[in-house]
C-alpha cells in the first residue's frame, strides 16, 4: 500500500472571481486550508474564497510537476471539461 507521505496531488481551485488556480502538494488538506486563510499562493490571496474542484494523485513530486505543467497548458475549455468529468 502506498504511504500518504509518498502521495503528491495536482489540484485545481476555482477562485471567487471564476479563475482557476492549478498547483501541487503532498498535503492537500493543509494546502487548501492555507489558500483559504490567505497564506497560500499570492495569486489566490486576493481571490478568496477558493473551492477545490479537481484533484489527481500522482506517485512522485516530479510526476506531479509534469502533470501540473500539462494542465496549465490546456485551454480553459479543456480544464472545465476535466472538472466536469470528475464530478
Q: Around Cβ 9, how many Cβ atoms within 10 Å?
A: 21
Residue 80 Cα to chain centre, angstroms: 13
52-76 per-position pLDDT tens digit: 999 999 999 999 999 999 999 999 9
Nearest in space to 15 (alpha carbons), one of 39, 51, 42: 51
21-43 per-position pLDDT tens digit: 999 999 999 999 999 999 989 99
Which structural domain, as residue segments, surrounds residue 48? 4-86
The CATH number of residue 14's host domain is 3.40.1440.10
56 Cβ partners below 8 Å, 6+ apart? 9, 10, 11, 67
Return phi, psi of residue 39, to 5°. Answer: -105, 5
Q: For the full predicted model, state whether its pTM sits above 0.85.
A: yes
Tally the domains of the chain: 1
Amino acid at each position: 500500500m502506498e504511504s500518504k507521505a509518498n502521495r503528491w496531488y495536482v489540484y485545481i481551485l476555482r477562485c471567487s472571481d471564476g479563475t482557476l488556480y492549478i498547483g501541487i502538494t503532498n498535503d492537500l488538506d493543509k494546502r487548501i486550508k492555507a489558500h483559504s486563510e490567505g497564506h497560500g499562493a499570492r495569486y489566490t490571496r486576493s481571490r478568496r474564497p477558493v473551492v477545490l474542484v479537481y484533484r489527481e494523485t500522482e506517485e512522485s513530486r516530479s510526476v506531479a510537476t509534469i502533470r501540473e505543467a500539462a494542465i496549465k497548458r490546456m485551454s480553459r475549455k479543456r480544464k472545465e471539461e476535466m472538472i466536469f468529468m470528475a464530478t
